[in-house]
Structure 1
Amino acid sequence: MRLLCAPAELGRLDEAGALRVILYGQAGARSQASAGAAVRSDVRRERLVPERRAWDLLSIANSVMVADAAGLRTQSPDGWTREFDLEIAVSEPAFWNGVAPLIADALAFLTTDRWQIRFIPGGAAAPEPARVVRPPQDCVALLSGGLDSLVGTIDLAAAGARPLVVSKIVRGDSEKQEEFARAIAGGLRHVQLNDNAVVPKPKDTSQRARSIIFLAFGVLVATALASYQAGATVPLYVCENGFIAINPPLTGSRVGSLSTRTAHPQFLALFQDLLHEAGIRVTIRTPYADKTKGEMLKECADQPLLRVLAARSTSCGRFQKFKYSHCGRCVPCQVRRAAFAAWGQSDPTKYVFEHLGRDDAQHAGFDDVRSVGMALAAVHDGGFDEWLGSALSWPRIDDRKVLRDMLRRALTELGHLHAKYGVK
């Protein structure tokens, strides 16, 4: 699939064989796509002035979000792997063409698709606010509305850090993102941004590239901080439990992008390499890479606040599908429920499918419940290492023994959940 991603001013609106993507504007026809229509005004309203390459990185991430939505996996030869050929307008095409292979490698790992990327002149510049604000915070934390980022932000504030929290607006979560930011440390500065990716129908829903836009938002804001402008390196906190970050295939049928890689250490290492090559002084930190979700809850620095807010968080992979309710049976829901049990607190979350032990298509017979059960059975019958296989074999993964032990503990948490409900 070929895409031409540039502001409308570039022209070339009807190039044969290419999906025209209007960056930082609205699509002018149903055959076109767009992304970033609101982000320029949002950044201007926040009075932020990011680094030029951080803005180019946002243009790249917006383009990737459109490609991920417009490329239908069902139309690929194997029903999954897609091929993308992107032409993206940026302010420094010579530099970005030099690192295009690194970007393609990172995206290939993230989505298991094949990417070719070329950069051309004509990219939009960052907005110029009438009055510039250099935020005094000393770090940036991604706040999704999920339980892990909630715990991470609470812990950062309790440790004396002054995080500026950045959210990607997601339908059903924007209000709770605001609620969490207000509740922590007397109120944190909070920036909410959205890629607003719009593509011609039909739309692919696998969303394997979604973390790149969240990271790009975080990097953008980090480069606008006063400390960054003074020459400091700014930490960008990605708070995700280690089990979901590694997301080891539960069964042999869940390999590749059938298990998401949004916070996988291999991808984050490649993304960090890209920041280094770009001279962007932002360091990605993953403080819970060796923690299970249950351990994150038990060790959270402000237990009273967490008990108030935890049930308001979102974990479900099908939250919108079930009318903004947790399904209770997808893998993220099972990890969440197991974590509450490990924490030793009651879980007031309302789950559409509460009793996992019912052996039917909606409960124990559901694919994700069955996959967790098969993983537990495989560990019981063949041992943990045989089940784990090559999940930790990626070259950029450090501390394999530590991660292996964490994955074992996380699987134990899931085992207790299945035992509680009598899943067989």
Structure 2
Amino acid sequence: VAEIGGKGAVAFGDGNPPPSTKLEFRKDSSFYRGDNYFAAGGMTKGEMMAECRASTVLAEVASEATSCGRFVRNGYKHCGRCVPCLVRRASFIRANIPDDTTYVYPSLRGAQLENEPNDIGAVAVAVLKVEQNGVRLFTAGQLSFAQPSRRREFEGVVQRGLAELGVLLRQEQIL
């Protein structure tokens, strides 16, 4: 957790620095400065938020962080329907932190009707494919960046991340 103006802040999403990898970031202190936070922790964004030791500070500032892939185009507001916004929304649910973000599309059901890329539909298909066929078929050939001994760990992150998204989509009555 970085100190900004006397208030702790945690940045999440594309274009933002990763959450702090100092020892105090996770409750079990398993992060070390300089570690890649995804590789080191094998965690989803929701899991990282849930495990944050500064949960009070996180609850105060997380809604102020930027995640949206269309943030500037939407007048510096989160759209609520792009993949980064969907991951953001699912992460708040997973961490049981109220999401005070103002979204252009607060309802995902209404957002589906827009004539833009259908990120909601794409995520819904991904969630269902993994639920029906397992994560291994979904990630086949996509984890070549990882050492073979770590691929199962990354498959787990993908599976749990899509499960978090599934909770969001069901809560919003998309699935």
TM-score scaled by structure 1?
0.34
Partner in structure 1 of residue 24 of structure 2: 158
Q: How does 1:231-310 map to 2 (within 5 A)?
A: 237=34, 285-289=35-39, 290-310=42-62
After superposition, give the CA deviation of every residue in 1:222-253 in whole Å (9 maximum; x if it has no partner).
xxxxxxxxxxxxx974xxxxxxxxxxxxxxxx
Partner in structure 2 of residue 417 of structure 1: 168
Structure 2 distance, partners of 1:323, 1:397, is 43
1:335 aligns with 2:118: no
Specify whether residues 157 and 308 from structure 1 end up closer, same or farther in structure 2 by C-alpha distance, changes over 3 A only. Answer: farther
Q: Which among 147, 157, 166 is matched to residue 12 of structure 2?
A: 147
Q: Is the 8 A contact 1:384 1:408 kept in 2?
A: yes
Classify the secondary structure of the residue corresponding to 2:69. Answer: coil
Partner in structure 2 of residue 391 of structure 1: 142
Q: Is the 8 A contact 2:23 2:33 kept in 1?
A: no
Classify the secondary structure of the residue corresponding to 2:84. Answer: helix
Which runs of at least 4 in structure 1 moved beyond 3 Å after TM superposition?
A: 148-151, 394-398
Equivalenced residue count is: 156
Structure 2 distance, partners of 1:236, 1:345, is 26
After superposition, give the CA deviation of every residue in 1:183-222 in whole Å (9 maximum; x if it has no partner).
xxxxxxxxxxxxxxxxxxxxxxxxxxxxxxxxxxxxxxxx
Q: Is the 8 A contact 1:288 1:296 kept in 2?
A: no
Structure 2 distance, partners of 1:236, 1:303, is 20
Deviation at 1:357, TM superposition (A): 2.3
1:379 aligns with 2:130: yes
Tell me how large the CA RMSD over aligned residues is: 2.6
Structure 1 distance, partners of 2:51, 2:18, is 9
Specify whether residues 384 and 395 from structure 1 end up closer, same or farther in structure 2 by C-alpha distance, changes over 3 A only. Answer: closer
Structure 1 distance, partners of 2:111, 2:73, is 22
Structure 2 distance, partners of 1:146, 1:397, is 30
Specify whether residues 404 and 157 from structure 1 end up closer, same or farther in structure 2 by C-alpha distance, changes over 3 A only. Answer: closer
Bigger Cα Rg? 1
Deviation at 1:395, TM superposition (A): 6.0
Q: Is the 8 A contact 1:329 1:368 kept in 2?
A: yes
Give, as a single letter, the amino acid of the residue that structure 2 aligns with 1:287. Y
Q: Is the 8 A contact 1:360 1:366 kept in 2?
A: no
Deviation at 1:286, TM superposition (A): 0.3
Q: Is the 8 A contact 1:358 1:423 kept in 2?
A: no
Classify the secondary structure of the residue corresponding to 2:162. Answer: helix
Q: How does 1:17-416 map to 2 (within 5 A)?
A: 146-147=11-12, 152-153=19-20, 156=22, 158=24, 237=34, 285-289=35-39, 290-358=42-110, 360-362=112-114, 366-394=117-145, 399-416=150-167
Structure 2 distance, partners of 1:403, 1:296, is 15
Classify the secondary structure of the residue corresponding to 2:109. Answer: coil
Partner in structure 2 of residue 11 of structure 1: none
Specify whether residues 353 and 405 from structure 1 end up closer, same or farther in structure 2 by C-alpha distance, changes over 3 A only. Answer: same
Which sections of structure 2, spanning at least 5 residues, go unmatched?
1-9, 26-31
Structure 1 distance, partners of 2:96, 2:111, is 26
Higher relative contact order (CA 8 A, sep 6+): 2
Specify whether residues 151 and 297 from structure 1 end up closer, same or farther in structure 2 by C-alpha distance, changes over 3 A only. Answer: farther
Structure 2 distance, partners of 1:323, 1:359, is 17
Q: Is the 8 A contact 1:300 1:306 kept in 2?
A: yes
Give, as a single letter, the amino acid of the residue that structure 1 aligns with 2:120. V
Give, as a single letter, the amino acid of the residue that structure 2 aligns with 1:298. A
Deviation at 1:360, TM superposition (A): 3.9
Q: Is the 8 A contact 1:318 1:327 kept in 2?
A: yes
Q: Is the 8 A contact 2:130 2:159 kept in 1?
A: no
Q: Is the 8 A contact 1:357 1:422 kept in 2?
A: yes
